[in-house]
Structure 1
Amino acid sequence: MTGVGPSQPAGGLPRGVRLGVDVGDVRVGLARSDLDGMIATPVETLERATAVERVVQEAREATAHAIMVGLPRSLSGAEGAAAAKARDFATELATRLAAEPVEVEVRLVDERLTTVSAHRALHTSGRKGRKHRQVVDQVAAVMILQQALDTERATGRRAGEQVEVGAAGASGQGTQEEA
């Protein structure tokens, strides 16, 4: 590849911020990356009712290129009620972003066991169990985004499946590009 510069890193993806989202029934965790897509950091925990608008606001302010929404699957790969809720959130987000003047991809990324891992990491760090709820969604969002960033660097492609918005509205079914 020739002409790799600050706007086009060696991986083939454009340079820019990516956001990570962990969708829960009550709370939504939000994380963001640096411009080079190297490391994910926590942003905040959002109330579910206002989360879509806040994620859109963060995407606008950060000039995000992609939003990685965690898709909880069982160990067998099957999707249940939690996955349906994540798909609904991603579809709502993609539909809302389609009205924005900036182009932002919304992608669903397999997030098996991230909440369990987030609780384990918080416990290991010495944080008391009752206080986990305040930050566990942020930690899970960081884990989702970091996994996606690592996949991007390894493959040179966006992680997960893109959520498409069609003429008749959003469709939660997209293209699968996960490694």
Structure 2
Amino acid sequence: MGKHPHIIRLDRASGHREIVANHWIRVAEAGDDAVPGHTLLPLKQWLERRDELLERDDVGIWFAPDDEPEALGADAVRLAIIAVDFPAFTDGRGFSIGRLLRERYGFTGELRAVGDVFKDTLNYLRRCGFDAFEIRADKDVEEAAKGLDDFDDAYQNSVDQPAPLFRRR
């Protein structure tokens, strides 16, 4: 699986962002051997090896678009990182996965968008609770980061702004 050498990381409280090296490797399938540190496993494989991996903070998971956050459930709060794959710009299921992980399952760790992620999607991803973005390898990460500045405010409530605009007056 291809990856960009850098990610955009956002501090949700302050809004500060930085471009940092990407130290996590997302694998399509892990062997039966020990899982190396800084590995993102598919949800299915993590669930199969849950007891072995749950206490490790150097192993995370990634959701495919057809994975259900309910499968992870209460274990979400024990993970340091969860990635959500966006295989195509037109596939919006990952937005719902991110929001459910934050609001229903209480996930507070790094929520990373991976796959077909680029400048035009960043603001919407942030509103659904994402705070790290692995930009497509063919896009400039510095230019993509500017997508977080596209809008000053929004009418609707979201993970990053729970009160709608009319309640913030």
| TM-score of the alignment, normalized to the shorter chain, above 0.5 | no
Relative to its length, the structure with more helix (as a share) is 1
TM-score, normalised by the number of residues in structure 2: 0.32
TM-score, normalised by the number of residues in structure 1: 0.31
